[in-house]
Amino acid sequence: MQQVRAKKFLGQHFLTDLSVAQKIAETISSGRTIEIGPGMGVLTQYLLKNSQIDLTAIEIDRESVAYLREWYPELNLIEGDFLKLDLDKLIPEGEFNVIGNYPYNISSQIFFKVLDYKDRIPVCSGMIQKEVAERLASKPGNKAYGILSVLLQAYYDIEYLFTVDEHVFNPPPKVKSAVIRMTRNKRRRLDCDEVLFKTVVKTAFNQRRKQMRNSLKSILDNGQWTMDKNERLEWFLTRRPEQLSVEEFIELTNLIEKSHVGNQNIL
Ligand code: SAH
């Protein structure tokens, strides 16, 4: 059967280096696992060889699906869009890992979805654009530190494992790639209102160069609520979001919540 023709709009860059594929597959050792975007199965073949892994693959591209059904008839394969799939229906109970050489054009959306299922996903690993990998693993004070760094690091320990050159893909992408692994940490719940936390992080980073006094204005003075002055909160508001750790964002969220008189409606 013919090779799959790479389609740009699906973010298709097929990995051609088998040793890299094997190394990526080894970032997960066992358990129920979803592979996103198997393509022609370069990673899949190693995942299938590991008898400790119970694999389900999700592929949106009909041509790749036909190829996989021919070459890997034993593979549990679903033709569909990972972003639209109801994972609770697909896997009604228990934990599952997520792995892939991901479609780079939707990698952020994939990670937001992983966050939606964070209590069921102990490990998420795979290959993404190097720049995005640096963002995810970045620490406060760093230029790359942003929304996804804070939201993911609140629940996951993130390892930047290794960098991958563009020449081991067909066709080669314009950017370098990197392999990461995220392992769920011990924090079950944040010590604050989690919805407000997300809003604070997103709103602050939407204007990342500004002091948070300015960027958080919409949250701070929304209408009828007056703020009680609080020294610690005032200090936070003179900072820029990239200076704050996950723990400090949690503290800030609590201070914002408490400082609103009659705070029932700030979310
Ligand atoms: N894992 C393969 C292919 C990587 S390219 C390899 O390493 O060679 C990314 C793959 O993700 C492609 O096969 C593409 O068709 C698939 N894909 C893109 N968007 C998807 C989506 N929303 N859901 C599932 N698969 C998707």
Query: Is the distance from CB of 253 to CB of 201 less than 8 angstroms?
Result: no
Residue 157: count of CB within 10 angstroms of its CB: 13
CA dist., res. 73 & res. 163, Å (int): 32
**Structural domain boundaries in the chain:** 8-184, 194-261
Mean pLDDT computed over every residue of the chain: 94
**What's the pLDDT band for 228 if we cut at 50, 70, 90?**
low
Ligand 1 contact, 61 CB (< 6 A): yes
The answer to whether the Cα torsion of 90, 96, 101, 107 is positive or negative is positive
Q: What is the three-class DSSP state of 191?
A: coil
CA 114 to ligand 1 center in whole angstroms: 16
CA 121 to ligand 1 center in whole angstroms: 20
Residues in the chain: 267
> Quick one: average pLDDT of 39-68?
98
Whether 57 shows a pLDDT value over 70: the answer reads yes
Which of 3, 8, 36, 98 best tests ligand 1's pocket when mutated (most atoms within 8 Å of CB)?
A: 36
pTM of the predicted model, to two decimals? 0.93
Pick the CATH number of 194-261 from 1.20.1440.80, 1.10.150.450, 3.20.190.10, 1.10.8.100: 1.10.8.100
**What's the pLDDT band for 223 if we cut at 50, 70, 90?**
very low
CA 14 to ligand 1 center in whole angstroms: 9
Using CA atoms, how far residue 122 sits from 38, 61, 133, 179, 198, in Å, is 20, 27, 18, 17, 21
Percent of residues, the chain, with pLDDT higher than 90: 90
* pLDDT of 225: 47
Q: Specify the range with the lowest mean pLDDT, choosing from 45-54, 177-186, 212-221, 222-231.
A: 222-231
Pick the CATH number of 8-184 from 3.40.50.300, 3.40.50.2000, 2.50.20.10, 3.40.50.150: 3.40.50.150
Using CA atoms, how far residue 126 sits from 129, 179, 233, in Å, is 10, 5, 38
8-184 and 194-261 share one fold: no
Whether 224 shows a pLDDT value over 70: the answer reads no
* pLDDT of 1: 72
Whether 81 shows a pLDDT value over 50: the answer reads yes
The pLDDT tens digits for 9-22 are 999 999 999 999 99
The pLDDT tens digits for 115-138 are 999 999 999 999 999 999 999 999
Using CA atoms, how far residue 264 sits from 22, 225, 227, in Å, is 52, 10, 14
Q: Choose between 5 and 227: higher pLDDT.
A: 5
